[in-house]
Structure 1
Amino acid sequence: MTRLEKVLDRRRLNRALLRRQLLSERSKLGTEDALRHLLGLQSQQPIPPYFGLWSRVEGFAPEDLAGPLTERRAVRATLMRCTVHVVTADDCRRLRHVMGPVIDRQLYGNPGRAAELKKIPDLERLAEAARELLAEPRGSKELGELLAERWPQCKPAELARIAQFVVPVVQTPPRGLWGRSSRPAWAAVESWLGSPVDRTAEVGEVVCRYLAAFGPASVADMQKWSGLTGLTEICSRLELRTFRDEQGRLLYDVPDAPLPDEDAPAPVRFLAEYDNAILSHADRSRIIDDLHVAKVISKNGIVKGTVLVDGFVAGVWKLEKAALTVTPFAALSAMHAEEVEAEGHRLAAFAEPAARARSVRIAPVG
């Protein structure tokens, strides 16, 4: 491996992240190609990915994601960090295999679940039964009750949860569709997509794709995004270029990935709740000041929508019907306030196209 060891400052890392996250300029990629490039979008809440794609893809409309979800070209599945992400169908098959250790660790590492696991002498039998039941979509309550007929010594809710770990599953529509709401229902990956998890997928491939979408990045950053361990050894076997950040940490990157200048343009962007650009590094300083993290990410894991000004998180936003409120962390210049209002009106128009009146308000500094 050739080590360049050039130091990249915070602004250079910021501009690289914006470019690779399709935030410095809206992309002309189609929705599925954008999802593929981004390695999906976090989606434990169904609607934020629509806002995330709107900020990244030129001309994005809700049906551009709802269509692939309905047609099974994209899915919502438990993957990185054992969290639901919306990804392409092909990526679901590959990422589910690579993230298997993360999901297994969540299954076996939960002390509260250990007692229930001890009541199941043959977990493979449970997986086989769950796979048969999940040949069609089922809610967790129904799944648990059906499994409890065979394992009456176990709590139905825990049986359903365990089944969703030991069988690769997806959340099925209408959950995740714009303008519609439903309780989560689950189906086996193999049944829903017509083919099984791809067990040829390798961790190194996913590391390189992560770097293309989020890099340059440290091993700690990769682990934060994925939940995987042992990545230092993986990186040592890959053909990667290396840098240092201002703290001296080793950063890896794929060859020829864009590294824009630190003064590259950075338009105002609205990031969705739980946006990957905020959550996918151990060191978030490339996009959000440490002092502001607690204003965005609550102790119970709720992540607010944020506003980028000059590439960095400058406030949070909330949309109620057609009224958008932006709460900045510091006073905005007149130019930036005008840009925030203009982009905010575009966001409100996307979210509420039929509204007779829309408003954008910049609240006092919060």
Structure 2
Amino acid sequence: PVVWRMVRQYAPLWHAPTGPPWAFGTAQSFVAAAERPVLADPEASAAGLAVLLRRYLEGFGPASVADMAQFTTAPRRLVREAVRTLEEGLVRLEGADGTVLYDVPGAPLPDAETPAPPRLLAMWDSVLLAYADRSRIIPPAYRGHVIRVNGDTLPALLVDGYVAGVWRPVGDGIEVSAFHPLPAGAWEGLAAEASALGGFLTVRDPLVYRRYDHWWAKGFPAVETRVLPAG
């Protein structure tokens, strides 16, 4: 088992779906990469990092060098060098605390007062992991309940753009546990999300994440829990 963990960590392998699109069973499946990466070529590595950072900004910008380093796990020195090669093609902004932020030209930049509809985020959703300062999404009081000590990042619900609780599929719907009281409009939005999610999971794994039920057994500081109809 130890050898296999090392092989799948460092060998040129791709994680392959085992069923319909976006379906990964408990038995992991891998295939050999079509083209072996050149690991000892610093120029190729730098070019690859630049491509990765631009793709990251397309999905999660505006973001700082610290954010990019957090998401890619690349050293900040290398991230700064890659940003310098990209800078002419990036938009430079200033965060609320004066931090330099980068984004791609033409990316949407909603006004701070733009409503953020309720959302159900998947486990390990990239939005929860995309920034060095995760308080942009996760209130500090809730972080330990969503990102567990072993790194498990639980499926979360967003209300007004911030994590407000956790969710999981159960036998008769989507169980939503809110960490603070939610208005009726938020519950209506979450119900719509649950209905759409149920249809998505039906042909895949209706009880996805059940192997993580032990976190629910340990309890959450939920002020209200509802089971919303799925599908």
TM above 0.5, one fold? Answer: yes
Within-5 A mapping of 1:1-366: 157-174=1-18, 181-190=25-34, 195-197=35-37, 201-229=47-75, 230-238=78-86, 239=88, 240-352=90-202, 364-365=223-224
Shift of 1:330: 1.1
Shift of 1:303: 1.2
2-structure distance, mates of 1:327, 1:175: 30
Aligned-partner SS, 1:237: helix
Partner of 1:12: none
2-structure distance, mates of 1:263, 1:330: 21
Assess, with a 3 A threshold, how the Cα gap between structure 1 residues 346 and 232 changes in structure 2: closer, same or farther: same
**Uncovered stretches (5+) of structure 2, i.e. residues with no partner:** 204-221, 226-231
Aligned length: 197
Shift of 1:214: 0.4
Aligned-partner SS, 2:158: strand
Assess, with a 3 A threshold, how the Cα gap between structure 1 residues 243 and 196 changes in structure 2: closer, same or farther: same
CA contact (8 A) 1:175 1:184 kept: no
Assess, with a 3 A threshold, how the Cα gap between structure 1 residues 248 and 163 changes in structure 2: closer, same or farther: same
Shift of 1:241: 2.2
AA aligned opposite 1:235: V
Between structure 1 and structure 2, the one with the greater Rg is 1
CA contact (8 A) 1:321 1:352 kept: no
AA aligned opposite 1:224: Q
CA contact (8 A) 1:218 1:251 kept: yes
2-structure distance, mates of 1:251, 1:314: 26
Deviation per residue, 1:261-298 (Å, 9 max, x gap) = 12223221110111000011101222221221112111
2-structure distance, mates of 1:158, 1:316: 33
CA contact (8 A) 1:175 1:182 kept: no
Residue identity over aligned pairs, in percent, reads 36
Assess, with a 3 A threshold, how the Cα gap between structure 1 residues 299 and 269 changes in structure 2: closer, same or farther: same
AA aligned opposite 2:223: P
**Uncovered stretches (5+) of structure 1, i.e. residues with no partner:** 1-156, 354-362
Shift of 1:179: 6.8
Q: Which 4+ runs in 1 deviate beyond 6 A?
A: 175-180
AA aligned opposite 1:364: V
